[in-house]
């Protein structure tokens, strides 16, 4: 993502230019004086030969002396101008180059409240980045932010997002808020929308800004067609396969021979994985059909560049299909974890390995917690404040999910949010009793399973995604005490954050309860998440 850089002061650049002009003018004057004096000396010497002899010897001597004097002065002025220009002219290296200001991006905030995007929305109107016809005023003539936001959401999403991203100052928090709302509403496909989607995707690649939310919006716009400008990139650049069998694609020019060698290494990979690099356009590609066409286009390009090389097209076509059969299932998991669940790899990580490891860890935690939850419920069910039928329903549903491990991720898309709240309440109730030593292990496993599940849903909840059967089961006070109790037991910040989204308690309530969390390791992160620093 682009960052702001200091811009050289226009005053200092202007002073440097003015200094150059003064030196040039002074040198020119000296050369002009030397030219005039030289011309006069020449005239006197000519007169000394033609006219002065008729006057007398004294005139010849006087003319010779005056001519020599003028010629000497001409030489002095010429040499002085040359020396002055060499010694006093500012060197090119000393003149600071004018730096073109880069785009500024506001700091992306992960905050429960809406102060950041609301303040950025006001800033967009004040800067004129959004048309004034979108503004709605309240009766007291103040800006009605919510109604103004609704007007913006009626605009075409892709072109509006691109327009805001191209401004000199990118207000990323309001842009992401708008994008998340549009993702919930969906985008109507049309040729015009597809063109906007392609342009927006190119912008993200050029800016090296990876955003699952914006990529989801682009995906609705069907940007990755066979006619996409990105397909032309198959003709320039090459794949790059690391020693550990991880590939990427670079657009840097290389010899066709090297490109073919790397293509051979790619197709020979038994366990292909892609490296997450923000400067590699493959990171932004989610479509398996586009990737397949890209491989074939790259092969055609190599054929054209290497006419002398006997490329067995049929063999390469078969190798491409074999490679894709190994890679497509991995690509589906990478896309699901990133675009649907908001999980981002770190720069340089292996995309599939990272996503698969996260999913495996989640399944292990979930599968261990289900029987542990059943044993705890059978023993401590009498103290649970939630309807016992709901807990039994959840245990039965969780058991059915475990019977189909291959469909585990798909089942999470339909996992009822209320199950997570009931799960948390169950553990909170059990924790309030005296747990026997033999049950402590089950409690710990069940708590870790809840933490893992909540963390999995955190980014999805932040994006506004909902799943089946949401229901309010807690009052504001009960929700605060539930989160407080889990924080005291060491639940991760991601898990607590998801639970705070789930309970839908207003930000002001959490801010009032913030001192309760001061002794916990997550306090500072919760303080930032609640936007408490806005009031500092």
- DSSP annotation string for 247-287: EEEE-S---HHHHHHHHHHHHT-SS-EEB--TTSGGGG---
Asked which of 349, 378, 403 is the last residue of a domain, the reply is 349
Residue 10, pLDDT score: 36
User: Could you read off the pLDDT tens digit of each residue along the chain, which spans 536 residues?
Assistant: 443 333 333 333 344 444 455 556 666 676 666 676 667 667 666 766 666 666 666 666 666 677 677 667 667 666 666 665 555 554 444 444 444 456 799 998 888 877 789 999 999 999 999 999 999 998 888 899 999 999 999 999 999 999 999 999 999 999 999 999 999 888 777 888 899 999 999 999 999 999 999 999 999 888 998 889 999 999 988 999 998 889 999 888 889 999 999 999 999 999 999 999 999 999 999 999 999 999 999 999 999 999 877 789 999 999 999 999 999 999 999 999 999 999 989 999 999 999 999 999 999 999 999 999 999 999 998 888 778 888 999 999 999 999 998 899 999 999 998 899 999 999 999 998 888 889 999 999 999 999 999 999 998 888 876 654 445 568 899 999 999 999 999 999 999 999 999 888 889 999 999 999 999 999 999 999 998 644 43
Residue 113, pLDDT score: 72
Residue 94 lies in a domain: no
Sheet of 238-241, strands arranged across:
238-241, 246-250, 273-274
* Same domain? 397 vs 511: yes
* Same domain? 319 vs 357: no
In degrees, rounded to 5, the angle at the alpha carbon of residue 131 between the alpha carbons of residues 137 and 195 is 135
Do residues 341 and 459 make contact, with C-beta atoms less than 8 angstroms apart? yes
CA-wise closest residue to 394 among 365, 425, 363, 364? 425
pTM over 0.85: no
Q: Using alpha carbons only, how large is the chain's radius of gyration in Å?
A: 37
* Same domain? 395 vs 430: yes
Residue 96 lies in a domain: no
- Measured CA to CA, the distance from residue 455 to residue 362 in angstroms comes to 9
* Same domain? 111 vs 78: no
Residue 98 lies in a domain: no
Q: Ramachandran region of residue 531, left (φ > 0), alpha (ψ -120 to 50) or beta?
A: left
Tokens of 456: 């999995």
Domain limits at 361?
A: 352-535
Tokens of 97: 């180059």
Task: Please give the C-alpha separations between residue 491 and each of 260, 415, 504, in angstroms, as whole numbers.
Answer: 51, 21, 19
Instruction: Count other Cβ atoms within 10 Å, centred on residue 90.
Output: 12
Grouping H, G, I as helix, E, B as strand and the rest as coil, residue 305 is helix
Please list, in sequence order, all residues whose beta carbon lies within 8 angstroms of the beta carbon of residue 422, skipping any fewer than 6 positions away: 386, 390, 391, 394, 473
Asked which of 23, 53, 88 is the last residue of a domain, the reply is 88
* Same domain? 145 vs 17: no
* Same domain? 343 vs 364: no
Residue 218, pLDDT score: 95
Task: Please give the C-alpha separations between residue 353 and each of 280, 337, 346, 364, in angstroms, as whole numbers.
Answer: 18, 12, 12, 16
- Measured CA to CA, the distance from residue 384 to residue 389 in angstroms comes to 11
Structural domains in the chain (count)? 4
- Measured CA to CA, the distance from residue 345 to residue 246 in angstroms comes to 14
Residue 370 lies in a domain: yes
Residue 1 lies in a domain: no
How far from chain centre, in Å, is Cα 275?
16
- Measured CA to CA, the distance from residue 269 to residue 319 in angstroms comes to 10
Residue 23, pLDDT score: 54
Do residues 453 and 362 make contact, with C-beta atoms less than 8 angstroms apart? yes
In degrees, rounded to 5, the angle at the alpha carbon of residue 492 between the alpha carbons of residues 489 and 493 is 120
CA-wise closest residue to 196 among 231, 150, 236, 165? 165
Residue 99 lies in a domain: no
* Same domain? 135 vs 254: no
CA-wise closest residue to 107 among 511, 533, 535? 533
Residue 468, pLDDT score: 46
Phi, psi of 238 (to 5 degrees): -160, 160
Do residues 217 and 281 make contact, with C-beta atoms less than 8 angstroms apart? no
* Same domain? 383 vs 499: yes
Token match 């063999």: residue?
315
* Same domain? 201 vs 297: no
Asked which of 25, 54, 88 is the last residue of a domain, the reply is 88
Residue 63, pLDDT score: 66
* Same domain? 55 vs 172: no
CA-wise closest residue to 156 among 166, 167, 164? 164
Residue 109, pLDDT score: 87
- Measured CA to CA, the distance from residue 300 to residue 295 in angstroms comes to 9
Residue 298 lies in a domain: yes
- Measured CA to CA, the distance from residue 68 to residue 48 in angstroms comes to 12
Residue 45, pLDDT score: 65
* Same domain? 523 vs 374: yes
Residue 4 lies in a domain: no
* Same domain? 131 vs 234: no
Residue 84, pLDDT score: 58
Phi, psi of 273 (to 5 degrees): -145, 155
Token match 């995309």: residue?
351
Residue 459, pLDDT score: 87
Q: Give the total residue count for the chain.
A: 536
Residue 81, pLDDT score: 62
């Amino acid at each position: 993502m682009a960052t702001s850089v200091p811009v050289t002061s226009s005053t200092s650049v202007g002073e440097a230019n003015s200094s150059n002009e003064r030196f040039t003018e002074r040198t020119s004057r000296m050369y002009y004086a030397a030219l005039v004096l030289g011309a006069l000396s020449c005239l006197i010497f000519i007169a000394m030969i033609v006219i002065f002899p008729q006057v007398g010897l004294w005139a010849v001597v006087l003319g010779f002396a005056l001519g020599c004097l003028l010629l000497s002065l001409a030489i002095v002025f010429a040499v002085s101008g040359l020396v002055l220009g060499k010694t006093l002219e500012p060197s090119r290296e000393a003149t600071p180059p004018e730096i073109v200001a880069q785009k500024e991006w506001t700091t992306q905030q992960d905050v429960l409240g809406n102060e950041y995007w609301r303040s950025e929305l006001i800033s967009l109107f004040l800067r004129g980045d959004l048309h004034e016809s979108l503004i709605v005023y309240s009766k007291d003539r103040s800006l009605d932010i919510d109604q103004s936001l609704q007007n913006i959401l009626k605009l075409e999403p892709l072109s509006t997002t691109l327009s805001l991203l191209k401004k000199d100052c990118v207000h990323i928090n309001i842009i992401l808020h708008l994008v998340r709302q549009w993702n919930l509403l969906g985008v109507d496909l049309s040729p015009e929308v597809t063109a906007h989607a392609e342009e927006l995707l190119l912008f993200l690649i050029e800016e090296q800004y990876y955003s699952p939310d914006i990529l989801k919006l682009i995906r609705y716009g069907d940007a990755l067609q066979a006619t996409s400008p990105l397909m032309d990139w198959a003709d320039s650049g090459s794949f790059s396969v690391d020693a550990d069998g991880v590939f990427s694609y670079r657009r840097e020019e290389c010899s066709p021979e090297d490109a073919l060698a790397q293509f051979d290494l790619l197709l020979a990979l038994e366990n292909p994985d892609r490296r997450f690099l923000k400067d590699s356009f493959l990171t932004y590609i989610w479509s398996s059909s586009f990737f397949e066409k890209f491989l074939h286009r790259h092969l055609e390009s190599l054929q054209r560049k290497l006419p002398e090389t006997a490329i067995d097209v049929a063999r390469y076509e078969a190798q491409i299909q074999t490679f894709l059969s190994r890679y497509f299932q991995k690509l589906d998991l990478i896309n699901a974890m990133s675009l649907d669940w908001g999980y981002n790899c770190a720069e340089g990580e292996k995309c599939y390995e990272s996503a698969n490891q996260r999913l495996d860890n989640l399944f292990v935690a979930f599968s261990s917690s289900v029987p542990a939850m059943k044993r705890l419920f059978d023993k401590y069910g009498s103290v649970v404040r939630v309807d016992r039928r709901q807990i039994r329903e959840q245990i039965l549903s969780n058991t059915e999910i475990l019977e189909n491990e291959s469909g585990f991720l798909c089942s999470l898309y339909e996992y009822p949010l209320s199950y997570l709240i009931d799960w948390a309440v169950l553990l909170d109730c059990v924790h309030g009793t005296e747990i026997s030593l033999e049950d402590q292990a089950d409690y710990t496993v069940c708590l870790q399973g809840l933490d893992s599940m909540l963390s999995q849903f955190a980014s999805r909840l932040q994006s506004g995604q909902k799943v089946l059967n949401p229901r309010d089961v807690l009052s504001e006070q009960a929700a605060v005490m539930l989160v407080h109790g889990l924080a005291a037991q060491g639940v991760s910040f991601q898990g607590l954050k998801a639970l705070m989204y789930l309970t839908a308690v207003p930000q002001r309530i959490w801010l009032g309860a913030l001192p309760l969390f001061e002794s916990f390791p997550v306090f500072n992160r919760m303080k930032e998440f609640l936007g408490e620093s806005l009031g500092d």
